[in-house]
């Protein structure tokens, strides 16, 4: 007679199976430009993947291609500079708005 797997043996089997997969980090909140987010959502929906798995795949694909990674990093630095400029403009607007409120 063949024994049914016990709950304990099934639990152990699943834990061993899970140990073969990479650990998933906690969620990372990512803010994206609206048009890029919309394009990514559309792509991910049509390809039936998540933005997170797409980002992982893009990184894994690019990391060993030095020239591609340099190009990606260059674009990232350009975008970071632009976002910092936007942040400074928003900060200045807030300060000026607060000054004008106090004068009324």
Same domain assignment for residues 79 and 102 = yes
Q: Is residue 3 part of a domain?
A: no
How would you write the pLDDT of the chain (104 residues) with one tens digit per residue?
A: 556 668 888 899 999 999 999 999 988 899 999 999 999 999 999 999 999 999 999 999 999 999 999 999 999 999 999 999 999 999 999 999 998 886 66
Same domain assignment for residues 44 and 74 = no
Could you tell me the residue range of the domain that residue 38 belongs to? 32-64
Q: Is residue 4 part of a domain?
A: no
- Count of domains forming the chain: 2
Same domain assignment for residues 58 and 71 = no
Q: Where are the beta strands (DSSP E) in the chain?
A: none
Same domain assignment for residues 59 and 49 = yes
Nearest to 50 by CA among 83, 73, 27, 20: 27
pTM here is: 0.72
Crossing angle, helix 51-62 and helix 34-47, to 10 degrees?
90
Same domain assignment for residues 72 and 60 = no
């Amino acid at each position: 007679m063949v024994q049914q797997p016990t709950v304990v043996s099934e639990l152990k089997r699943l834990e061993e199976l899970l140990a073969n997969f990479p650990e998933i980090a906690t969620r990372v909140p990512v803010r994206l430009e609206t048009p890029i987010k919309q394009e990514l959502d559309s792509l991910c929906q049509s390809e039936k993947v998540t933005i997170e798995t797409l980002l992982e795949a893009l990184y894994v694909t690019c990391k060993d291609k030095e020239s591609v990674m340099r190009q990606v990093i260059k674009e990232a630095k350009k975008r970071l500079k632009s976002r910092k400029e936007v942040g400074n403009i928003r900060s200045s607007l807030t300060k000026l708005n607060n000054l004008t409120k106090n004068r009324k």
